[in-house]
A and B are shown apart, each in its own frame.
Chain A
């Protein structure tokens, strides 16, 4: 590489960093203005966020535990979007996955550690099945997956809630319900994912699973023939069709896999426990927007599995921090707003850079009509 191109790449990198920092600041300033405008004070909010996510004892373990399912969802999203498919129904796939995990976890009821693995696998199966409905609708009936996955979020949520009202499905026996009327039986102690203690923080082991899978997905997409074909399909479906990468086969596989990741995330939330995800049992609203957030993680990470790791951690920090914000007198949902502004702002730099790259490319190409 010549000194000239190295220099140019350097300055391009600086441009990237500059744009990104600028957008993050803009998003934060906008959020701060909103807090001030509604009569709050942004400084204590900031402090509460940091306390809740990192500084207070035990909190960063909690944040890691929250990041794990977000990361899992994001990994699935990355796989489907590499194949050019827009799966935005992870929230539903996650919930259905968790429901499958709950149902079969109890139905089979095998010995502890083995059952944990089964729970995760059935979570994957459930998520994949729910994404499979969208795949079926797309490749058989030509229904855009953007819309079917979205609509299936609501349907999935309602169906699981229905299951939670039926004793023959998910509803716990009367004795185990406590004072709630839509709740599943709690997972037995030996059916839970371990939470080892590291530096004074309980860390749900789902984190390690998620990070390992991030590495696997990264290699899968970048180094394997399958990943190569998937990328080909996403970038040019007609070239892929000619080259033996059928949209139905590879596209459906990508969609199912992406649902499976969301399902595993649901199962991991169920078996992993923690403050955020309840008490090893399924309840209505169990998915708790983790599917949506995981989707945003994937968008911000721009289809890069390893980048998704830190991004998931940041978004999880907003989540765990938000529970501390209420004490400052500002509504805790401000973190949803911060998150939204942040994602929106982070969309700008790549778009601007894309336009600039294209201008450069067009400038470099000779005239050809």
Chain B
């Protein structure tokens, strides 16, 4: 294994000019975990630098250090030849470092210009900001209405605002954090084109942080691969190929399809044999008919959405984030009611929005954001395992603590949950293990339908594989699995049938075997083809 020594190829010395950013020996520990372990990184003007690694590899921490959200324990930061320290996002902005955040940087009820102005210093001058937005829009082809409310915009436009917000300060170093997660494939291509322009025209240094191998391979010049907090490889994109990158990310040769999917390799042409399901028989287990729901501001979040799901099949819902997938998950979690339409589970009509109705009818859910409705952070692991159904451990309304503990121990063993014991508070578990608790609870209810919304988000490759295997096994046991994911790779890898959602509507449907990537991409953009 290579730890971050400086004499690797591509560590800055071989580039044309002095590095714009030179990180040396950066180390950051969170308790016992070393998120960044003696990282060296050099960014050069005029080049796109890809930082590749699976979730938890330390990419985000490294970027947070660069943007001033996290202070490193050790190491030095040199910007354009001058040693410096970055204590806050504002300080980073003054040094010319800007970041396009993946989530959490826009405030919905504010307008575009207000969002763009957020985080600056000095007097607030709306017209100057509007003009600046106009200039950037012209320059990069990022058209946007400065007085629109950000909450009304689509995910793609929101990212545009995010990019403008970053570019408005004219940063010399721009970091893109997983930028394609909210884009259609086509929009991604456009994004990378304008990325090229940003780099070429103005000599900026650009960092592209991603866990998707293909993306980094095709859109960058230099590549740094991180694993478990360390830099394991540096190479030029021109010299790289997918197997090398994959080996770097995971630390061993990668052959399984599902692993490749987890690394962000799109495999269209070879649907695995087991994915050709015999024509599903007869009555659907889950039937959604004409579901329509509106957001408080009147926008339709689900628009006459209909779907049938049969026992034993995995149906993947493809689509760009923010097109009604979250609401679909909420509907099947009894969290929202419908303005029109109905839900039938196993022949019984279920009242949407009545608390617990879906769960009682046999709909298990692995929610998109487990902290939102999946777990209770302030309760113990054992308690989290009985959120939905307490009857097994509380026969007469009194909880039998012996039975509770036994149940928890059985689950911990069966699902290999890493924890300090059944009474460990939920917040003390890592994200992957929290996800296993959710999985354990939902599967132990013996559901008829299992909704898995972004089930592998934020997990490392090993955990992704585990999750995928469990979902496949559930389908083999006759559970109807609804996979909602914004990662096309995951959808292609898992599903028997793929449906595409756009603006709360079902725009298309195809069996896995007939997937045509171009058509799929067009559908994700809203075209009915």
Q: What residues of chain A have their CB less than 8 Å away from a CB belonging to chain B?
A: 5, 223-226, 228-229, 231-232, 235-236, 238-247, 249, 360-369
Contact = CB atoms under 8 A, between A and B. Distances in A.
Contacts of B386: 228
Nearest to B404: A228
Contacts of B297: none
Given A240-B355, A361-B428, A366-B430, 8 more contacts: A223-B398, A225-B390, A238-B335, A239-B387, A242-B373, A364-B33, A366-B35, A368-B56
A241 B103 CA distance: 26
A242 B399 contact: no
A369 B458 contact: yes
Contacts of A368: 55-56, 60, 430-431, 458
B376 A236 contact: yes
A175 B242 CA distance: 100
Contacts of B355: 240-247, 249
Nearest to A360: B31
Nearest to B333: A242
A236 B103 CA distance: 22
B360 interface: yes
11 contacts: A228-B383, A228-B394, A238-B335, A238-B372, A242-B334, A243-B388, A362-B30, A364-B32, A365-B430, A367-B30, A369-B60
Given A364-B30, A368-B430, A369-B102, A241 B376 contact: no
Given A235-B379, A242-B333, A228 B390 contact: yes
A115 to B, nearest CB: 32
Interface string B339-364: 00000000000000011111110000
A19 B11 CA distance: 51
Given A223-B398, A225-B398, A366-B56, A245 B376 contact: no
Nearest to A231: B379
B172 interface: no
Contacts of A243: 355-356, 359, 387-388
- Dominant SS among interface residues on chain B: loop
A126 to B, nearest CB: 28
A365 B376 CA distance: 17
B365 interface: yes
A249 B355 CA distance: 10
Contacts of A240: 355
A241 B373 contact: yes
Interface string B364-390: 010000001111111100010011101
B56 A367 contact: yes
A363 B73 CA distance: 13
Given A243-B356, A365-B30, A236 B373 contact: yes
A367 B33 contact: yes
Contact of B31 (A229, A246, A247, A364): A364
B72 interface: no
B335 A364 contact: no
A176 to B, nearest CB: 47
In the complex, which of the residues B55, B373, B375, B378 has the most CB atoms of chain A within 10 Å of its own CB atom? B373
A364 B360 CA distance: 36
Contact of B398 (A224, A229, A231, A245): A224
B377 A366 contact: no
Contact of A366 (B33, B334, B397, B428): B33
- Dominant SS among interface residues on chain A: helix
A96 to B, nearest CB: 30
Contacts of A244: 334, 355-357, 359-360, 388
Contacts of A246: 354-356
Interface residues on B, range: 35 or more
B427 interface: yes
A242 B356 contact: yes
Nearest to A364: B31
B379 A232 contact: yes
Given A242-B365, A244-B355, A225 B394 contact: yes
Contacts of B358: 242
Given A235-B378, A244-B355, A365-B430, A228 B399 contact: yes
B398 A236 contact: no
A231 B426 CA distance: 14
Nearest to B31: A363
A125 B518 CA distance: 67
A51 to B, nearest CB: 44
B58 interface: yes
A228 B387 CA distance: 9
Listed from nearest, the 7 A-B pairs whose CB atoms lie closest are A244-B356, A363-B31, A246-B355, A238-B373, A367-B35, A236-B376, A242-B333
Contact of A235 (B359, B376, B420, B431): B376
Contacts of A236: 373, 375-377
Contact of A239 (B354, B375, B420): B375
B397 A224 contact: yes
Contacts of B32: 364
Nearest to B370: A239
Contacts of B376: 232, 235-236, 239
B44 interface: no
Contacts of B388: 242-244
A245 B390 CA distance: 12
A74 to B, nearest CB: 21
Contacts of B354: 246
A246 B356 CA distance: 8
Contact of B428 (A232, A238, A241, A364): A364
A216 to B, nearest CB: 13
Nearest to B28: A367
B61 interface: yes
Contacts of A245: 355-356
A358 to B, nearest CB: 9
A137 B458 CA distance: 41
Given A241-B334, A243-B356, A367-B56, A225 B30 contact: no
Given A224-B399, A241-B334, A367 B61 contact: yes
